[in-house]
Amino acid sequence: MIDVDYDKQIQELKKNIEELERRKQEALRREEGFNAFDEALQRIFDEYGLTEYDLFLLKSVDIYKWLEKLSGEAIQPGSFHEIKELMGKLYARENGLVSGKRKSAKGGKKAVVVKKEQPKLEIGMYTNPHTQQTVEKKRRNPKELDAWLDEYGYETVVAWKQD
């Protein structure tokens, strides 16, 4: 007969259960804190007439400093694409990915990403009301205009065209 120490296995499983219970309680406590934070933030928004945009604008400087600290290189608050790319690199580094791209399950081939076709923007000048930056479209979209399309959407950017 095989000599199995069931008591030892039971003790190990009990320790694992205790650890999982502790983690569960921590997660519930964090969720409670996030809910309290959200409620308090909403009260402040209501009391002072603030919006999420105001908060994001205020925190954007802190976010840039945090990104610079994480990346170890100075970044300029340029476009949404640049920040998205930097976040992808940081995520990849944190998760042990070399190139920043995950391989698909089928033989390591890259997954094909299909971009949704949008109607083309008309030639002209476009001014972003959030940054007051003006960009001219001649033939192809400048990088800034593509970044605006990704961040704000086609319908919004079309409305920014100057007559």
The overall pTM is greater than 0.75: no
Higher-scoring residue by pLDDT: 59, 90 = 59
CA distance linking residue 87 with residue 103, whole number of Å: 18
Token code pair at residue 82: 């640049």
Is 124:130 a contact under the CB 8 Å cutoff? Answer: no
| Span 1-32, pLDDT tens digits | 577 889 999 999 999 999 999 999 999 999 99
pLDDT tens digit sequence for 19-73: 999 999 999 999 999 999 989 988 988 888 888 777 777 777 777 777 777 666 6
Q: Is 13 exposed, middle or buried (0-12, 13-18, 19+ CB in 10 A)?
A: exposed
Q: How far apart are CA 140 and CA 46, in angstroms?
A: 43
pLDDT for residue 9: 92
